[in-house]
Structure formats: structure tokens, C-alpha cells
Amino acid sequence: MASSYNHVAGQSVERLAALSDGIFGVGMTLLVLDLRTPALEAVRGEHGLWGALAGILPQLVMYMMSFITLGIFWVGQQTQLNLLERSDRHLTWINLGFLFSVTLLPFSTKLLAEYYPYRAALLAYWFNIVLLGGSLYASWGYAVRHRLLRADTPADVPAAVCGRIRTAQALYAFGALLCLVDTRISIGFIVLVQLEFALAPRFRPRRSPIPTPSQTLDP
């Protein structure tokens, strides 16, 4: 009976995607909830409000970085789920572990924002990123090994996904190590890695009006 249940449990990739979007959506919105408007009694005149807003700026930058981190892992998980033919019970639980790490990120971000000169805060933040990357890596490995990928997945994609996660985690680990010198150098390095992963062009943007063969082959 148990085996028969396990064959039908947790097979829906759509439901997993929907739950993930819900959790990411709430997490991304809550990050900004902590931004407080300046206290009315503390602000004197137009000048005072500009000053108070400038005082909020570092906090805003910090939340933007968290949003980008969540964005990076959202795109990463989305790419995996799009390539799945179906899910199963075990893959679902690996992804629930990933989502648990996602819900922790607002906490570790706030911790790092408040205690940025402390190595403990930096290592806690880094540990969160290791959990995120590690569970995505485990999820992909499991999907490949158990043949859950769509038949039309390009042959070089499985290795590309693994390589990408390994490279990112190696860079994050190096960034964390830099805290032996100074935690601010660590944070700066990690931020650069994230911006590179989120924003840097990895190939020349295609602006030619004539589609190339590879474009037309895109699903």
C-alpha cells in the first residue's frame, strides 16, 4: 500500500512551482516590510526629511541585495522545474528543504545587516546560501539520476546546471573565507558575485532582427 501511495504522491511539478512562487512572493514582499517611515517627531522641515530618507538608504540597499539573492535562486529553481517531466515524493521533499532555506533568508539578511562587522553573522548568512545551493544541487542530481527530466532537454544542460551551482558555491565559499581578513571585504565580494550572476551579460545580447537557428530552436 505504501509503495502504491508513493507512486502517486508528490508528482505534480505545477503544484510545487505554485507553492514555490507563493513562498518566494511572500518572502520578497516581507523584506521591505521592515522599512519604517521616519518618526514624525524626529523630522524637522524639508531638510530633515531628506536627511531621514538618506539614513534609510543603506537599509534599502541591503534589502535590494536580498531581493536579488532570492531572485537568483528563484530563477535557478524555475529553470530546474521547467525541465522536469514530472516530480516524485523524494524530489518534492528535497525542494521543500530548499524552500525552508528560502524562508530563512530574510532572517539571516537582517542578522547580517545589523551585525555586519561580526564573523558569526557573515558565516550564518553564508551557511544559508550553502543550504540554498546545496538543496538545488541535490534536487538536480536526484532528477537526473531518476530520469525525471523532459525528453527534449538539451544534452549539455544537466552538466551546465551542475557546473553553474558548483562555480557559484566555490565563489561564495571564497568570499566567506575572506572574513578572516575583514567581514566587509567578504560582503563586498559576495555582492559582486551575486550581481555578476544576476545582471552581467553572459553572451552578447542578440539584437539582430533576423533570428538565428538557435533562437528558432528555443522551445
Residues 189 to 218 in contact with its own copies, rule: CB under 8 A: 198-199, 201-203, 205-207, 209, 211, 214-215, 218
Residues 24, 74 contacting (CB under 8 angstroms): yes
Residues 131, 107 contacting (CB under 8 angstroms): no
- Minimum separation from the CB atom of position 189 to its own copies (A): 20
Site string for its own copies, 107-126 (x = CB under 8 A): x--xx--xx--xxxx--x--
> Is position 43 an interface residue for its own copies (rule: CB under 8 A)?
yes
> Is position 2 an interface residue for its own copies (rule: CB under 8 A)?
yes
- Minimum separation from the CB atom of position 45 to its own copies (A): 8
Q: How many CA atoms lie within 13 A of 207 on its CB side?
A: 2
Distances (CA, A) of 133 to 71, 137, 204: 13, 6, 27
Distance CA 51, CA 41 (A): 14
Distances (CA, A) of 164 to 6, 15, 72: 32, 26, 12
Residues 145 to 184 in contact with its own copies, rule: CB under 8 A: 145-147, 153-154, 156-157, 159-161, 163-164
Q: How many CA atoms lie within 13 A of 54 on its CB side?
A: 6
Rank residues 154 and 188 by Cβ distance to its own copies and give the closer one: 154
Distance CA 132, CA 11 (A): 22
Rank residues 121 and 190 by Cβ distance to its own copies and give the closer one: 121
> Is position 67 an interface residue for its own copies (rule: CB under 8 A)?
yes
- Minimum separation from the CB atom of position 141 to its own copies (A): 11
**Per-residue burial over 169-184, b = 16 or more CB atoms within 10 Å of its CB, e = otherwise:** bebbeebbebbeeebe
Distances (CA, A) of 96 to 32, 93, 108, 111: 24, 5, 19, 23
Rank residues 145 and 181 by Cβ distance to its own copies and give the closer one: 145
> Is position 64 an interface residue for its own copies (rule: CB under 8 A)?
yes
Rank residues 58 and 103 by Cβ distance to its own copies and give the closer one: 103
> Is position 49 an interface residue for its own copies (rule: CB under 8 A)?
yes
Size of the site for its own copies (CB under 8 A): 96
> Is position 18 an interface residue for its own copies (rule: CB under 8 A)?
yes
> Is position 59 an interface residue for its own copies (rule: CB under 8 A)?
no
